């Protein structure tokens, strides 16, 4: 089978499309014929090995795991002997390691059935971005109906889910994006949209109960200015500044600062949870969330797809079509 591999850290030029052995599922695993995968900033962080703190897990000098891609949708081809939930032919989506490939094996807990109202392309666009939005708003942000919620980075992979999930919780949502994305962010349900090229949301008179920050381009002080005194700032993402800690340094500063102020500042590490994947599956089936897809690339063009996401201006998600 064909798969994207990397053996050293670096830019997307180091990625290679190689012929590998088709994997064999362990007893508790399913073998998936991959239809589609999607790209996340996580992929280029692992590809570059930055911030360096990530290498504690990924391998200090070179990657321990030389496959990339964590979001996948496809058809179950075969199952291990202990798998009870799936059978060959089932159409599923979820998380794995090595999604940029024709086949992948993962534990059955990683997948749920793809809703009938979705294409494989849409399903692959969901997992990490939707986990991040759901866990950031619900668990870290403790979102409540009627709250004023601001999503910074509303047009990105995570932000487009965050706008829709915040609406599904009954919040009044303000999305922040650039001019070309204003209509799109409004179309997915934002009640208000701030065009950051015209207005700095941290300078407005508005106060928010919850700020979901997927960009990290404003100081904590400025964000706190527009946060209600009982409000919560959820730090989701930030610029890859500072080789060792990257966006984590801002989150750590927030953790220290939040000990001395009433407002809460919390960082998010999204995790793959089957129970949350079921919640996301229900939201998708009910039409409460729909992935926004920007561009599609082939498996051969994964380096180009990652380069595009690295530029930081994708409109929703970038998908890899492995079949067709």
Ligand X SMILES: NC(=O)c1ccc[n+]([C@@H]2O[C@H](COP(=O)([O-])OP(=O)(O)OC[C@H]3O[C@@H](n4cnc5c(N)ncnc54)[C@H](OP(=O)(O)O)[C@@H]3O)[C@@H](O)[C@H]2O)c1
CB-CB neighbours of 300 under 10 Å: 11
What residue has token string 């024709």?
102
Site for ligand X in 259-318 (CB under 6 A): 268-270, 309, 312-315
**Min CB(48)–ligand X separation in Å:** 12
Site string for ligand X, 11-50 (x = CB under 6 A): -----------------------------xx---------
Residues of the chain by 3-state class (helix, strand, coil), percent to 5 = 30, 30, 40
Beta-bridged to residue 111, according to DSSP, are 94
**Min CB(219)–ligand X separation in Å:** 13
Q: Taking Cα atoms as reference points, which of 113, 111, 157, 114 lies closest to residue 133?
A: 157
Site string for ligand X, 82-121 (x = CB under 6 A): ----------------------------------------
| Nearest CB to ligand X, comparing residues 43 and 90 | 43
Residue 214 binds ligand X (CB under 6 A): yes
Rounded Cα distance between 122 and 281, Å, is 12
Q: Looking at 65-73, 76-84, 171-179, 258-266, which segment touches ligand X (CB under 6 A)?
A: 171-179
Count of residues in contact with ligand X, rule CB under 6 A = 31
Tokens of 3: 């798969």
The number of CA neighbours under 13 Å toward the Cβ of 201 is: 31
Query: Binding residue for ligand X (CB under 6 A) from 34, 54, 128, 292?
Result: 128
SS3 readout for 181-199: HHHHHHHCCCCEEEECCCC
Query: Binding residue for ligand X (CB under 6 A) from 25, 49, 98, 153?
Result: 153
Q: Is the dihedral of CA 299, 303, 304, 306 positive or negative?
A: positive
**Min CB(306)–ligand X separation in Å:** 11
DSSP 145: T
DSSP 323: -
Query: Binding residue for ligand X (CB under 6 A) from 69, 157, 189, 303?
Result: 157
Query: Binding residue for ligand X (CB under 6 A) from 158, 210, 289, 320?
Result: 158
Using CB under 6 A as the criterion, which residues of the chain lie in contact with ligand X when the complex forms?
Answer: 40-41, 128-129, 132, 152-153, 155-159, 176-178, 181, 196, 214-215, 217, 236-238, 268-270, 309, 312-315
């Amino acid at each position: 089978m064909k798969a994207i591999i990397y053996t050293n850290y670096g830019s997307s030029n180091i990625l290679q499309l190689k012929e590998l052995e088709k994997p064999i599922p362990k007893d508790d695993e399913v073998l998936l014929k991959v239809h589609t995968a999607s790209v996340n900033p996580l992929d280029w962080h692992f590809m570059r090995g930055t911030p360096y703190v990530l290498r504690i897990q990924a391998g200090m000098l070179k990657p321990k795991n030389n496959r990339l891609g964590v979001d996948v949708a496809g058809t179950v081809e075969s199952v291990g002997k202990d798998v009870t939930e799936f059978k060959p032919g089932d159409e599923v989506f979820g998380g794995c390691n090595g999604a940029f490939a024709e086949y992948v094996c993962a534990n059955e807990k990683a997948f749920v059935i793809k809703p009938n109202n979705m294409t494989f392309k849409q399903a692959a666009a969901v997992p990490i971005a939707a986990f991040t939005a759901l866990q950031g708003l619900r668990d870290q942000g403790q979102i409540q109906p009627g709250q004023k919620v601001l999503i910074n980075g509303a047009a990105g992979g995570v932000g487009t889910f965050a706008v829709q999930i915040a609406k599904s919780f009954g919040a009044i949502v303000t999305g922040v994006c650039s001019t070309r994305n204003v209509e799109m962010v409004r179309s997915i349900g934002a009640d208000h949209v701030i065009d950051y090229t015209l207005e700095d949301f941290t300078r407005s008179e508005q106060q928010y109960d919850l700020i979901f920050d997927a960009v990290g381009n404003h100081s904590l002080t400025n964000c706190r200015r527009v946060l209600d005194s009982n409000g919560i700032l959820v730090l989701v993402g930030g610029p890859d500044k500072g080789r060792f800690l990257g966006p984590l340094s801002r989150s750590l500063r927030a953790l220290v600062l939040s000990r001395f102020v009433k407002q809460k500042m919390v960082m998010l590490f999204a995790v793959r949870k089957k129970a949350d994947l079921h919640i996301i599956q229900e939201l998708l089936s009910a039409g409460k969330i729909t992935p926004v897809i920007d561009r599609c690339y082939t498996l051969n063009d994964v380096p180009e797809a990652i380069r595009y996401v690295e530029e930081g201006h994708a409109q929703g998600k970038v998908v890899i079509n492995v079949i067709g």
